[in-house]
Structure 1
Amino acid sequence: MTLRDLAAIDVGQLRGVGDKKRSALAAFDVFTVLDLLTNYPRRWVDRTNEARIADLVPGEEALVLVTVRTVTKRMTRNRRAMVTVQVGDGSGRMHVVFFNQPWRERQLKEGLQIALYGKPDTYRGGLQMTNPIVDLIGDRTGRIVPIYPQSEKVQLTTWEIASFVDEAMRRCADRGIADPVPHDVTDRLDLIARGQAIASIHAPESMREKEAARRRLAFDELLRVQLVLVLRKRELERTSRGIAHDVDGELVRRFHEALPYPLTGAQRRAISQIEVDL
């Protein structure tokens, strides 16, 4: 399937994408299957490389995968909402505090697996993170978990987007994704196929595989820009009319006569070429 084919398929045709989810995807400018497949993750969580709560060092930023234990909300004296979440990962427990984010109480449910990125501090003898970055992992499996841009307003989770991507890739499996770059070029530049790159950027088996996918997709973007520039240049050359110059006038002859030295053969040939161009 070409990119044009993918752009012709409305994202609402995918299984699981009803009117509500279709509207939510539209908030991210995702209207077609092509939009969905080129809506790349904002980052990837390497399950083999995250820290454990027991290994966290106060004052040092870290990524930790945890499970929500309890969630409570109360108002502070200045009427700001404070949501306190207790999380754990098997090695220990930690409190996470969100100020002025009351919607976290609805987002973070007991038993939900999440990724936290922030700087832990000690508080009352234990560890605590304040307003960390939160990514909802859900029940996504695998060593590398893609994290997509999310919005509380549109109620669309990263694992829902990942499931839609999985469905889109499944529908493309029979025909495959066309690769316009010849094999000898990809072999010479050590690039993977376009279809493999799209699949790997969304569901890589390793960070090395993700980097190979990113490199190929970056090449495609640069190639597309170069092709557009070449086409524009050709169109400009085809439609633009140049200005014809008189190269046999008296001024040119007088200029040559005023030179204090004779022109060499190479100089005369260069001038002749310039006259042809003019």
Structure 2
Amino acid sequence: DILERLKNGEIDILVGTHSLIQPDVEFKQLGFVVADEQHRFGVEQRRKLIEKGDKVDFLLMTATPIPRTLANTLYGDMDITTIETMPAGRKEVKTVLVQENSFRHVLDEVVSKIEEGRQVYVVCSAIEESESINVRNVLTIYDNLKKAFKGIAKVGVLHGKMSSEEKEEIMREFDKNEIQILVSTTVIEVGVNVVNATLMIIYDAHRFGLSQLHQLRGRVQRGSEQGICYLLTDSQDENSLERLRVLVNTNNGFEISAEDLRLRGPGDILGTRQSGLPAFLLGNLVEDTKIIETTKKDCLEILQHAEEKENSQLIQKIVQLNMNALTTMD
């Protein structure tokens, strides 16, 4: 019914998940797309949304832009509006890096929060035990915490393999404080608003992206009470630890994204990779913004005088070299 009404122009505003990308979703005259939590969409997915209309305006919203998007803003291919302030009464999340992948370091803090009547998230990168990777998993941690906190707090579990009904029931119980400790995968990353949950423990923190960690810790700063996020890791890799220290030192999403860009690279501006080193021989995308700005002006000058032989040959050559990638541009 919704698809039919949408096609006929009887629906003016449609709100949906990634299901909007599906081929059978047809708009009569799509003019504007808003993608909230932009980092959850791939390049091709964003392209498919835009192609559902003619000359569609596109607004991307995110607390932490992925490296590729930040690079696009530096190149001047994307207008940007920054909201610098937090909602009234909110405090910044306090983030603590623990170089030990063990619950014992945070046990006293968890008990203290529960005694205060607060709630806790415990986040793992895997649902169940695996022979291929050595990480803490949701099911094992859930069983361990259920035994450890028996008679003290109720422990719940949440992950992507559960049915929608099961997930909704668990979140309802957590929202009503019937569950005090929620062991979960990253399914809580967006769209979860439990003001009473003010403590988060993230196992194997080095396995998550900076943007993802920033989004996750935002779950424990939904009210005026101080939120605390513990990043647990046993990684000895200095690059991984350097990334995690970025989160300890700042709560600014753009600073985090800029550091992510410096460490991971911007991916393909003409292409679909959303991170990774660009094909520059000498340039540095973060440090060389002045020459990038000058280059942009030179490019516009060439395009505005495309009829000149030298410019025309250069444009044709660039188009020829990037033909496959041009269709993926934002």
Give the TM-score, by structure 2 length: 0.24
| Larger proportion of strand | 1
With a CA cutoff of 8 Å and minimum separation of 6, indicate the structure with the bigger relative contact order: 2
Larger Rg: 1
